[in-house]
Structure 1
């Protein structure tokens, strides 16, 4: 996650404040100095840092905060609200045309991830709206871009319109739009060319495409790894094209992530999506409030639940819940869950979405090797169908056979079976609402996050807010299905 260092610095700054019973103006000033340094180190633009710290300071030194019984918790709330505002305040979806097709034009520097994003967005539109998009390959300067788009189109079973590299991009877009209207595609995604730097030729070409296509969306794709320069790039493209939204890619990398905090303020254009990996499913809608929660170490349960919902249908979820309640969870279910978790992304990232987890000691050292998942699968596949359904059959001789069949040691097989039994017990307790009996749960509930953990005032506020949103979302989903 790109904000790990920033999260740690902010938690340290707020942690000092939380340990004090009463907070003075000097304490607030010291905290704001720490926050200012943390933001600058994360590559957040100086004007944005100044505006943010000024807004927090003005609210934090108010009488109602300093005289409050829990001033530190009030200040956490203020920081969260101001950070959410800096990130855009509200979630902004795609601009859609009243008539088909909705035309979306990608722009950005070479290597920012425009082509990959086009594939990810097409995939999202197909899954969520049953859409019929058309991809237009208008990058004629990088032959690999056309091939890449065609490969993505083949994977998604989405048509890709191209005219090779000898035709002007404007002409390609013209003919592509004619085809889309003829075939009644409801979305057109135009993949334009980029350069290693901004130049007049690039901008003039993009202006010509804009004039011809009159797109409903002009999305600027920005690589989070470019750091502070991403803000300058965004400002230049916005001045030339009037961008309607920003996509930040590679936000899963080991970057400072300050671009996400700066671009919204500098351009006025909302961040609409973030790319969080290489898979076609690694695309997240940008929610300012959720991102603020992640940065402040307060977790992001809503995104975690959405990730689970994408890969777990309601019927299967109910079947699994029933098995957990009845304690009949077996190795077939275990393997299915491994696959589901693998689809959701790195486990260490998922853990940090749970409120309070990001500040648990040692959480930064948690790394799950994808090969470990493969080894566990191999062990389960080396069992007989009867053994998978009845784990109690796994005596020492059967375990030796499984070890030999999966290329693992008996020690590793024993460890995997032990993990399975512990997971089975934990899920049974959770399904019965007996989370307090899970080892280590009290520690999580009482510490973590600078809101005082899940039991702390801010932690409770965050959890209550998320529960309300979850219930609202579930009701909305049920209405849609009807």
Structure 2
């Protein structure tokens, strides 16, 4: 027993040092894997953004139906539908929940309204609100997102016509818009309701 205790005292520090090295190696490996996953995620996001910019820049028209199709694609990629929606916690994320609301609103619109947004008036919104269970203000938020993307499409097409480069990231887009002497087309875009103001039917 004494001999065993002596061996334990001799080899225990070496054993502990080995454990420390193993933990360090595992930690480094975990960091490298996390870094690769983050890099891959960023690359996918950049690719997706570039694809959308290219699509908008070469699309003559952009209706609510087109916006609906884009939203469904983004929903599948982002976890609103498909297997990703089964991952715990994903469906409760604010962005995911808003996307679900927007999709429900889109599905409540009649096809002719999605193809011609000019047909959407206060009465149509109230009917859609009753069908999908979303307030009129949320419908306006969805329409505002469509108008903003349509305005971006117009701006991108002008850059193509002027033989200018297209942005590849959101940061590029923001900087190019800021430096563009022609400005960003905001005509026809509904203003965002100030926080705390009374809801207004439109």
TM-score relative to the length of structure 2: 0.51
Q: Among residues 88, 103, 114, which one is paired with 1:377 in the alignment? A: 103
Shift of 1:391: 0.8
Matched pairs, number: 138
Instruction: Quote the Cα distance in structure 1 between the aligned partners of 2:177 and 2:147.
Output: 22
Partner of 2:68: 335
**Higher strand share goes to which structure?**
1
Which residue number corresponds to residue 82 of structure 2?
Answer: none
Alpha-carbon distance in 2 for matches of 1:421, 1:230:
57
Match of 2:136 in 1: 410
Assess, with a 3 A threshold, how the Cα gap between structure 1 residues 308 and 420 changes in structure 2: closer, same or farther.
Answer: closer
Q: Provide the rounded CA distance (Å) in 1 between the counterparts of 2:94 and 2:107.
A: 21
**Counterpart contact for 2:56–2:157, Cα < 8 Å:** no
Query: Displaced runs of 4+ in structure 1, greater than 2 A?
Result: 229-236, 262-265, 302-309, 316-323, 339-346, 430-436, 440-446
Q: Is the 1:307–1:344 Cα contact (8 Å) retained in structure 2?
A: no
- Change over 3 Å in CA distance of 1:374–1:231 after alignment to 2: farther
Hey, what does 1:232 align to over in structure 2?
22
**1:304 corresponds to which of 45, 54, 59:** 45
Shift of 1:303: 3.5
CA gap of 1:409–1:389, structure 2 versus 1, over 3 A, is same
376, 387, 392: which one aligns with 2:113: 387
Preserved contact between residue 57 and residue 156 of structure 2 (Cα < 8 Å): no
Instruction: Give 1:304 deviation, angstroms.
Output: 2.2
Deviation at 1:329, TM superposition (A): 0.9
1:231–1:263 contact (8 Å) kept in structure 2? no
Structure 2 counterparts to residues 95-134 of structure 1, below 5 A: none
Displacement after TM superposition at 1:407 (Å): 0.7
1:272-308 superposed Cα distances (whole Å, 9 cap, x missing partner): x55xxxxxxxxx9x38xx84xx9xxxx94x4424456
Considering only CA atoms, is the larger Rg found in Structure 1 or Structure 2?
2
Q: Which has the higher helix share?
A: 2
Name stretches of at least 5 consecutive residues in structure 2 with no aligned partner: 1-18, 80-92, 168-172, 180-202
Q: 1:443 to 1:408 in 2, by over 3 A?
A: same
Aligned to 1:322: 58
